[in-house]
Amino acid sequence: MTDSRVNLRQPWLAALLAFLLPGLGHWYQGRRFKAAIFSAGILILFGWGQVLGEGQATYSRLVLRTSADSPQFSAQPPVSKTSYGFWAQVLVGLPAFPALLQEARFNAIDKSVGVLDSEIRSDFVGALIETTRQGDLRTPVTGTLQLSPTRPEGSRTVQGELTVGTADGGTVSYRLGGEIQLGRAVFGSPRRSIECRLVDEAGNFLSARIEGTISRVFFNWYMAPLDSVELDRLHGSLSRQYDVAAVLTWIAGLLNLMAIWDAAQGPAYGYGDEDRGEGEGSGSGGGGSGGGDGDADAASVKA
């Protein structure tokens, strides 16, 4: 007769493997069908949540705004609080671990804030701000930004230009110079804040500056802590889609918790249960036989 019992092997190791990667613990136990079901179902659910959330549905910390200044310009780690949803997301295991790595990088002092150590070529989205007697005049601009430090080893002062398109299809270039304000390298936004002054051909400052954002490297924003402004932007651009994305990643983590339990405990008829049942049955049967012999002896004495 075929033995249908499940050999759980080392349950603690199976549970650990199931936590690190959905389905891996079941694969280790030889339960290949369940491994495929758990792996495909949970990873697809988590991955789809990440896609719907544009890669920003998972983060371990939410940065708090304690002043009017953007926390992107803070060299010291900004004040933040735990994202409680991450407690469910981290149960997916390795796919959610980049958030922990980004948290560690985020909590380090960022010496790159306000310092340009290499040339930048990026798209720019922001505003050209001219200071007049009536106040600041803001003109939205998009274009291409090129900046380089004034010293090869890096510096706070830069030189470069911003090229923007005009309504008639042409382009206009603005010279940039002076000290730069550059946001933190690691932050939960695909856009990095930047501010710089405009200068004339002789390098003299003009009463104008640019404020906006440039592209941030994927590795520096994926699953990194984000602030309430970026969270509001996501809710504004994605609406309920972002909420659905977050919920999908939470469900994926909670489902893997069930998979971890199944890898550790196995089904109700797990390996060895029948042996214990047979032992208990034999013990009770033996007790019954012993009781019968005792009654027989007592009867013979009475006789």
The answer to whether residue 275 sits within a structural domain is no
User: What value does the mean pLDDT take over residues 77-106?
Assistant: 95
Q: Is residue 246 part of a domain?
A: yes
Residue 22 lies in a domain: yes
Residue 97 sits in the same domain as residue 243: yes
Whether the CB-CB separation of 89 and 49 falls below 8 Å is answered with no
Burial class (CB in 10 A: 0-12, 13-18, 19+), 71: buried
One domain, residues 60 and 23:
yes
21 belongs to a structural domain? yes
Residues 15 and 93 in one domain: yes
Q: What is the pLDDT of residues 200-256, one digit of tens each?
A: 988 899 999 999 999 999 999 999 999 988 999 999 999 999 999 999 999 999 999
Residue 162 and residue 21 share a domain: no
Q: Based on the fold, state whether residues 22 and 170 are members of the same structural domain.
A: no
- Report helix, strand and coil shares of the chain as percent, to nearest 5: 45, 25, 30
Host domain of residue 148 = 120-182+189-222
Number of domains in the chain: 2
> Is 285's pLDDT higher than 60?
no
Q: Are residues 88 and 49 in the same domain?
A: yes
The reported pLDDT for the residue numbered 119 is 92
pLDDT of residue 54: 95
Could you read off the pLDDT of 130-159 as tens digits, one per residue?
Answer: 998 888 899 999 999 999 999 988 899 999
**147 domain residue, yes or no:** yes
In a domain, 15, yes or no: yes
Q: Is residue 166 part of a domain?
A: yes
Three-state DSSP class for residue 176: strand
Distances, alpha carbon 11 to alpha carbons 6, 16, 24, 38, 115, in Å = 11, 9, 12, 17, 52
